[in-house]
Structure 1
Amino acid sequence: MSAPRFANLSPGADRVGRACAWIEREDGYVLMVGLAWGGWTLPGGGVHPGESGAQAAMREAWEETGAHTEVAGEPVPLTGASGADAECWPLRLLALDPSPEGRPVAWVNPRALPWADDVQLRQVLAARGELPSGLDVPPLVTAALKEAARLHIQDSCSLDTGRLLRTLAASKPGGRLLELGSGVGAGAAWLLAGMDPSARLLTVEADPLRAETAWAVLAPDPRARVLHGDWTGALAQGPFDLLFADCRAAKGEGEALGQLVAALAPGGLLVMDDFSPPAHLPEALRGGDPLRAALFSHPALNCSELEVSRRERVVLGVKRA
């Protein structure tokens, strides 16, 4: 079945930014609009030349949902699933007509799951101090992300992968964990958030500045040890119950994969992130992904692929006993 086609009243490619609308009723429910692929999003789109962000948010709200609105406050900066930045403007609803673009609309409770975990809604709730406690970011992760911003590093562990790491770490009480590619400590901080008091984490980073920064971020937690050096040198300290391979050099389908598997204890978890879903697969991999193939065909691994966000998948492998 093909996806529904909606009219597009603002097709111009000359946009100078992005804006979306937070339209909240008296009962706290927020207005969302249907997407062609079946999901839901806050109404929004491009800011046209000569428009303010607020004007764009009101125009998009009317075009997509039929909402007549006025500005009700200051905007919240958002980062979308694709990495694009936008302003989210709070708007007051004056009247609601059928969507001029023919889109479905829905009123949802943004403070209840699963809506509170939507990539847009959770950022607005966090800015307002209204994020449900189960979705809080651990303090060490926040510290690592602040360091990443200071150093203009944009490849830190994503929120969605981080929460998966926390869950997986909790499944290894008393375990020995290894991270290859510390960055400035975000992934390690997520692992520590799930580990029990007797578990231990070794994280390795080849870049000296990143390694030093990760050491400073993780120093408050005695369960973590940060090494500066090549990733292969840490494998000899195994076997490990969980191995998060987060550096490019360790994500090879040949000898590198064999080294990772050899460093795992029986029943140990191998975690690799940054895989693209088919809809966003790089052109070079349209004929197939050698790393995926090597993971799923490795005789010592049982693998599954999880979609942690619309643009990111993670492969999990368990070493057979």
Structure 2
Amino acid sequence: MRATRAGAEGPFLDLSPSLQRTGRACAWIEEGGQVLMAGRDGGGWTLPGGGIHPGESDAEAALREAWEECGAHAEVTGEPLTLRGASGVDALCFPLRLTRPLDPSPEGRPVAWLSSRALPCADDVQLRQVLAARGETPAFLARPALVEQALAEAARLGVEDSSSLEAGRLRCTLAASRPGGRLLELGTGLGVGTAWLLSGMDRAARLTTAELDPVRAQAAWQLLRPDHRAEVVHGDGRDLLPRGPFDLIVVDGVLIRCDVSALDQLVSALRPGGQLVVDDLTPPAHLSQEFFKGDALRQALFAHPELSCTEIGLSPHERVVLATRRA
């Protein structure tokens, strides 16, 4: 990484404060495998970009933002890609080429050239989308083939955000830590998260996954039936708890929140040293008002006498609780 200008972390000047901007555009400027990025107000790096002014084309907005945030004089060299931001807002990302050396950032931002194909920068939410669209994802960041199949089926059925990349990697890693283990998943969905678990499991491990919705259970079964390690059950996953003890149980936080009293059943179905993953939890900063006096699920997990818990932030909008049953 080579920095072109140092500066204090934000707030920075805002040269485009209009509240009438619509849509978003950003710029991809690459030289020698390094991508030009601007400092965020809260720290870290982002592709230069922002809202589109009324009467301004998408491409003009990308060029303007590249200048305001990075001091880049540039020209558009191709068609844009649509990127999904961490907040879920789409942005049109235009490839640009510098026409002259960089000036200091007019907004006073630090500017850096980051390696787009080496960690940690290659795993940036924006960079990895561009590389994926170009078919240039580094092998060490590629999703497992079964996960890609599950995502393709979810897209065909019009289901988005079946399982985040970060949550999937955690599942894969935990499954790999249980050689020959018995795993249970409550809430199969379309099998995206299940595919991540299978991608981490060894050949001797076994996974049972349950889904209440018949359509989703059938779709997951069609996807997973070639893998002898997986059993897809249509029904309430709590009915499978007597089959324990399990080495790893993964449960959707939405499911258990509806019946926090089921936590004792889950813990009893865990082998001592076994782990419970409660995912799809909302970060405290984004909780709705009903939780301002406390979250019964988090409270029950951390107060349970047989569990040792930690909460893990996977993204700005997603957390999980990872719990281990005490021996």
Deviation at 1:253, TM superposition (A): 6.7
Q: Map residues 132-147 of structure 1 onto 2, 5 A cutoff.
A: 132-147=138-153
Quick one: structure 1 residues 32 and 134, their matched pair in 2 at CA, closer, same or farther if it must change by over 3 Å? same
Deviations 1:185-214 (A, max 9, x none): 000000000000000111110001111111
- Residues 211-263 of structure 1: CA deviation (Å, up to 9, x unaligned): 11111111221211111111211212211110000262223573121111111
Give the corresponding residue for 2:66. Answer: 61
Distance 1:257 1:155 in 2: 26
Post-superposition Cα deviations, 1:2-24, rounded to whole Å, max 9, x if no partner, equal 96311112223333321111111
Report sequence identity in percent. Answer: 63
Note if 1:97 corresponds to 2:109: no
| 1:30 correspondence with 2:35 | yes
SS in 2 for 1:17: strand
After TM superposition, the structure 1 stretch with the greater mean CA deviation from structure 2, 202-211 or 231-240, is 231-240
Q: Does 1:74 align with 2:79?
A: yes
Aligned to 2:294: 288
Q: Secondary structure at the match of 1:225?
A: strand
2:115 maps to a residue whose letter is N
2:128 aligned with 1:117, yes or no?
no
Q: In structure 2, what is the equivalent of residue 223 of structure 1? A: 229
1:233 paired to 2:239: yes
In the TM superposition, what is the alpha-carbon distance from 1:98 to its structure 2 partner? 1.3
Cα pair distance change 1:286/1:9, threshold 3 Å? farther
- Call closer, same or farther: CA 1:93–1:284 in 2, change over 3 Å: farther
* Residue in structure 2 matched with residue 48 of structure 1 by the alignment: 53
Which residue pairs with 2:156 in the alignment? 150
284 and 13 in structure 1: CA distance in 2 versus 1, 3 angstrom threshold: farther
Q: Which amino acid aligns with 1:299?
A: P
Question: Which one of 93, 100, 106 corresponds to residue 88 of structure 1?
Answer: 93
- Quick one: which amino acid aligns to residue 59 of structure 2? A
Could you tell me how far apart the structure 2 residues matched to 1:286 and 1:100 are? 41
Range moving further from structure 2, 59-68 or 244-253: 244-253
Letter in 1 for 2:117: R
Identify the match of residue 187 of structure 1 among 182, 188, 193.
193
Whole-angstrom distance in 2 between the partners of 1:316 and 1:276: 14
1:155 deviates by 4.2
Helix, strand or coil at the partner of 1:211: helix
Contact 2:254 2:280 in 1 (8 A): no
TM-score, normalization by structure 1? 0.95
Please give the secondary structure, in 1, of the residue aligned with 2:243: coil
Secondary structure of the 2:25 match is strand
- Write the distance in 2 (CA, Å) between the matches of 1:97 and 1:177: 56
Instruction: Kindly state the Cα deviation for residue 112 of structure 1 after the two structures are TM-superposed.
Output: 0.6
Does the CA contact (< 8 Å) of 2:207 and 2:229 recur in 1?
Answer: yes
Count residues in correspondence: 319
After superposition, give the CA deviation of every residue in 1:155-205 in whole Å (9 maximum; x if it has no partner): 411110000100000000000111111010000000000000000111110
Are 1:253 and 1:294, in contact at CA under 8 Å, matched by a contact in 2? no
- Specify the SS of the correspondent of 2:240: helix
- Is 1:11 equivalent to 2:17 in the alignment? yes
How does the TM-score come out when normalised to structure 2? 0.93
TM-superposed CA distance for 1:142, in Å, is 1.2
Q: Between 287-296 and 113-122, report the one with greater CA deviation.
A: 287-296
| Contact 1:245/1:251, CA 8 A, preserved across alignment | no
Instruction: Name the CA distance, whole Å, in 1 between partners of 2:74 and 2:21.
Output: 22
What runs of 5+ residues in structure 2 fail to find an aligned partner? 1-7
RMSD across aligned positions (CA) = 1.6
Which has the higher mean CA deviation after the structures are superposed, 301-310 or 162-171? 301-310
**1:89 to partner: Cα distance:** 1.0
Deviates more, 1:268-277 or 1:9-18: 9-18
Is the Cα contact below 8 Å between 1:251 and 1:257 reproduced in 2? no
Residue 76 of structure 1, CA deviation? 1.8
Aligned-residue offset at 1:282: 2.8
